[in-house]
Chains A and B, each alone.
Chain A
Amino acid sequence: MTSPDSGPAPGRFGAWDFMSIAARWVLGGLFLYMGLSKALHPIEFLKLVRQYDLLHHHFLLNLVASTLPWFEIFCGLLLVLGVAVRGAAVMLVAMLVPFTLAVLMRALAIHGAGGIAFCAIKFDCGCGAGEVLICKKLAENGLLTLLAIALIFWRSQRLCVRHGLLRSAPASGLA
């Protein structure tokens, strides 16, 4: 079996190739779906972003609510097509980590205020999937973040239109 750093033999799909393709399509598909569900209902998403009480100026609130769904769709498309995979994966991590922290902080605030068991807390986090149990959402986001990080390091270019945007030569590790 080929390792994520060694690259597959030409013409043969290795296990890392399959994992990389699956990670790209799962992540890309999810972001496409989540982004579309928000982009089609921007006012509902705007209300949900406001619930986090993190952005207090209406311009910033509108900017996030209007661009984030389309940005997710864009990154999702890049991953599905295999274009600028590492750059798109970095952006996914940059979106997932702060968003997961915001969900966690909000859930902790509810937990502290209401005395509800943490894993019984449920709200519409603005992820595009309606109301969700927060423990499940945090675990799901943790998994997605790990997949995105893996895509930054995995070198497989199978079924990619253009894996690296800046160069056409094969990618060769990060360090």
Chain B
Amino acid sequence: MRKTKAVLLEALLVAALGLFLALAANALSARGLRLSRNYFPGGEKPGTVTPATNSAATGSNAAPVDPLEAVKLRLQRNGLKMVRSNEVAELFRDPRYDAGLVLFVDARDDQHYAAGHIPGAWQFHHYRPENYLPEVLPACLPAQQIVVYCGGGDCEDSEFAAIALREASVPGDKLLVYAGGFTEWTNHGHSVEIGTRRSGQLVKPKP
């Protein structure tokens, strides 16, 4: 019994020391998380899985619902509007796009953004707002319409980014969430820009 207590006491010591070191490592790490920050503003119950044999099997036994309609309803509850691919293509061709009055904001991380983004899109990875807001916010404030997108599919980062922009004083009625995201953009054969914004490296996605 005494030995059992000793083992449990040792485990408690390991737990306490480990927790202390883990908190310290997180605080010192450049990639660490901020404990008090809500990284999923307006986030609802998640549900993302990839069954090995059936990619549509994440729903319920009820009749299938158009996933984009479900996203639209969720966005509405968060005071946001959704745009579909045809509207996005029109906005991309809109003359106001070149004047900076129509803006595209990419909510994905650095790696994905550099690998390819909608030409001219600004990057705003909302998990590290301090890295992006100083550039993105001045561009967003005078804009009339801002299309925010991420990878599409299960990705919710465009919603979180739109909410984060709204919280940073961008009027919510300007913000449009492109639910189809970058995947849909490339699936439609639109060109993408590689590297930094306005790098001039435009490529057509492979079919």
Q: Name A's B-contacting residues (CB within 8 A).
A: 39-43, 46, 50-51, 53, 58-59, 61-63, 65-71, 74-75, 78, 84, 86-88, 90-91, 94, 106, 110, 113-117, 120-124, 131, 133, 152, 164-167, 171-175
Q: A87 and B10 in contact (CB under 8 A), knowing A51-B46, A62-B37, A74-B22?
A: yes
Tell me the B residues contacting A by CB distance below 8 Å: 1, 3-4, 6-15, 17-19, 21-23, 25-26, 29, 31-40, 43, 45-54, 57-61, 109, 127
Q: Which of B3, B15, B38 interacts with A172 by CB under 8 Å?
A: B3
Cβ of A86: which chain B residues have Cβ within 8 Å of it? 7, 10-11
Given A62-B35, A75-B18, decide whether A122 and B51 contact each other with a Cβ distance below 8 A.
yes
**Cα distance A165–B22 when bound, in Å?**
19
Bound Cα distance from A74 to B13, whole angstroms: 12
5 extra A-B contacts, CB within 8 A, seeds A70-B22, A71-B21: A62-B35, A62-B37, A66-B33, A116-B51, A116-B57
Say whether, besides A51-B46, A58-B40, A90-B11, A67 and B23 are in contact (CB < 8 Å).
yes
Q: By the criterion CB–CB under 8 Å, are B3 and A87 in contact?
A: no
A-B contacts counted at CB < 8 A amount to: 158
Are B57 and A113 neighbours in the complex by a CB distance under 8 Å?
yes
Give 7 nearest A-B pairs by CB, closest first: A114-B57, A87-B10, A70-B22, A90-B11, A67-B22, A122-B52, A66-B26
CB–CB A84/B35 < 8 A? no
Tell me the dominant secondary structure on chain A's binding face.
Answer: helix
By the criterion CB–CB under 8 Å, are A40 and B31 in contact? yes
Q: Which residue of A46, A94, A121, A165 contacts B33 across the interface (Cβ within 8 Å)?
A: A46
For B57, what are the chain A residues with a Cβ–Cβ distance below 8 Å?
110, 113-116
Is the pair A113, B1 in contact by a Cβ cutoff of 8 Å?
no
